Each structure stands twice: as C-alpha cells, then as structure tokens.
Amino acid sequence: MDKYNSRPREKGKWEAHKKYIDIQFVADGAEKIGFGKMKDMYVSETYDNKKDIMFLEGSGNFVKVEKDCFAIFFPDDIHMPGIAIDNSIPVKKVVVKVKL
C-alpha cells in the first residue's frame, strides 16, 4: 500500500505504461487523477522498458477519486495520479498492475 500526501497539479506528471494495466484503489483519503489521450500529449521522458513507464506533457481532464473508489488505466490512457483536490492531504492507495 502506498502512503503519500496529494500534491498540487503543478508537481504532477503525466505517465503511461505499455505492459500493464493500472488499477488504482484509494483506501483512505481522496485525490484527483488526470486522464488523457496520447494525441493530446508529447513525450517528455522516453519509455523505460525496465520500469514500464514514460512521462509526457500535454493536457487532459481530472476526476475525483475518493475513499473506497478505484480507477483503471489501460496503456492508451495517459494518467496523472496523486493530485490534491483542494489542499494536500494524506492518501493511502493500492495500485495493482495487470500484465497484458
């Protein structure tokens, strides 16, 4: 289980994976998670095959994910987790990676 404080939007990074689907379950707290499409982004840090992650810049939308809720992100879904709704608060989250 990950434990962290949600952060301002300016400190978030858009990310994507190629090998895994992310299932992100908020066990305590709440956060916004950004989501977007590759066509609205450009790669800022190239894909790391070992860590299965690349970072991007661009624009997307955000959804509020509260305690006991989850979000699923497929490889085509660019996402930005851990963003504060109003102010930074503690969050406990379980991230399950499902191999494609």
Tell me which DSSP letter residue 19 carries: S
CA atoms within 13 A on the CB side of 3: 0
Residue-number span of the structural domain to which 42 is assigned: 2-99
pLDDT in tens, the chain (100 residues): 999 999 999 999 999 999 999 999 999 999 999 999 989 999 999 999 999 999 999 999 999 999 999 999 999 899 999 999 999 999 999 999 999 9
Instruction: Provide the CATH number for the domain around residue 48.
Output: 2.60.120.370
Q: 53: which DSSP letter?
A: E
Tally of structural domains, the chain: 1
pTM of the model: 0.92
